[in-house]
Amino acid sequence: MLDYHLHLWPHGSRTTTVTVDDVASWCEKASSRSVPEIAITEHLFRFKQAKGLLDSVCKSDPSPRLQSNMARYFENHATADLDGYVTTLHQARAAGLAVRVGLEVDYYRGHMTEVANILDGYPFDVLLGSIHWLGAWRFDDIDDPDSIAEWNAREVDTVWNDYTQAVIELAESGVCDVLSHPDLAKVMGNLPTSCEDSWQRIAEALRASGMAAEVSSAGWRKPVGEPYPATGLIRLLCDRGIPVTTASDAHRIDDIAYRFEDLALFAESAGCEAICAFDHRSRLLVPLRGSAHRGVGAQGISQAAGFIESDHRWTSK
């Protein structure tokens, strides 16, 4: 299995430097857990280049309280430089480390063209698309009392409808390659009257856009206590032939490949036999697990799967 959703910086940390040695430590930990390749996928909102987008999120919400809360959150988090991040990850690749250069791109309603313009020209391998907020409400921030309290002020069915519509619009934008934690709105255990309706709409959006979906063990660390996506949704995705990636969504090194044996069994039980590997935004399928890709590393996976390594030189913006 591959771990294609990892963060070097924990939420709340203003320290956002990254070195090749840092990446090497994460690769070593992954290898020790039988994961031959990882993708580092820091949040776009951690970078100063996204400041204009962050302002748009705050202004989009009618609640002054949520606006203020989100503004403080972004002020604390948006401190890194995207050029430096990408450069370091490519240096890690050049040093032979089994790492893919990625980013987790949150959905900015009405501003995805601006997102695409910011990302244009950067040599990413994989872009994850995520819905983490509705307006300025961080609905899955379980460490923020204001965000959690907001659940009591909203109808669950309305939240799920808004979340599902955001997923559809994100998929239609064509900006990202993979939908992360596809049913994240269940994070607190709040489910709509009809899960099947949301699942069908999400699956159809992915099928129509060509996006892959993420199968993530992170939900086992959250109040909902189950992986993303739910059993019914992952079966629907597999039935429709939508490709998947596997992920831990780790924000600390000890969570790399978190419960991956359980995740493999979960995916297999839904009918998944293969997962996506990515290189320069191109994908192909490798076995979910087994000797066919175990231990070969980033370059080996690319060569075995038919990827052609291209020139990584680029000019930072």
What's the confidence (pLDDT) of residue 76?
Answer: 84
What's the confidence (pLDDT) of residue 307?
Answer: 40
In a domain, 311, yes or no: no
Which pTM does this prediction carry? 0.91
Domain hosting 9: range is 3-305
What's the confidence (pLDDT) of residue 38?
Answer: 97
In a domain, 269, yes or no: yes
What's the confidence (pLDDT) of residue 17?
Answer: 82
Which CATH number do you get for residue 189? Answer: 3.20.20.140
What's the confidence (pLDDT) of residue 115?
Answer: 96
The whole-angstrom separation of Cα 75 and Cα 256 is 28
> What does the DSSP assignment read for 149-168?
HGGGGS-HHHHHHHHHHHHH
What's the confidence (pLDDT) of residue 167?
Answer: 98
In a domain, 118, yes or no: yes
Per-residue pLDDT reduced to its tens digit, 82-135: 999 999 999 999 999 999 999 999 999 999 999 999 999 999 999 999 999 999
In a domain, 310, yes or no: no
In a domain, 317, yes or no: no
What's the confidence (pLDDT) of residue 14?
Answer: 67
Per-residue pLDDT reduced to its tens digit, 213-224: 999 999 999 999
The whole-angstrom separation of Cα 313 and Cα 64 is 45
The whole-angstrom separation of Cα 180 and Cα 271 is 19
218: exposed, middle or buried (C-beta count within 10 Å: 0-12, 13-18, 19+)? buried
In a domain, 312, yes or no: no
What's the confidence (pLDDT) of residue 219?
Answer: 97
What's the confidence (pLDDT) of residue 292?
Answer: 39
For the chain, the 3-state helix, strand and coil shares in percent, each to the nearest 5, are: 45, 15, 40
In a domain, 271, yes or no: yes
In a domain, 313, yes or no: no
The whole-angstrom separation of Cα 39 and Cα 101 is 6
The whole-angstrom separation of Cα 74 and Cα 267 is 35
Domains contained in the chain, number: 1
Residue bearing tokens 């039988």: 34
**CB 4 within 8 Å of CB 256:** no
What's the confidence (pLDDT) of residue 298?
Answer: 45
* Coil vs helix vs strand at 190: coil
Give the CA dihedral 206, 195, 11, 146, nearest 10 degrees: 140
What's the confidence (pLDDT) of residue 241?
Answer: 93
pLDDT averaged over consecutive 10-residue blocks of the chain (317 residues)?
A: 92 78 97 96 94 86 91 87 95 96 95 95 97 95 94 97 97 98 97 95 97 98 97 96 97 96 96 94 88 42 42 48
What's the confidence (pLDDT) of residue 60?
Answer: 83
Q: CA 246, 178, 73: angle at the middle one, nearest 5?
A: 95
Q: CA 182, 99, 267: angle at the middle one, nearest 5?
A: 35
Question: Dihedral of CA 227/180/55/136: which sign?
Answer: negative
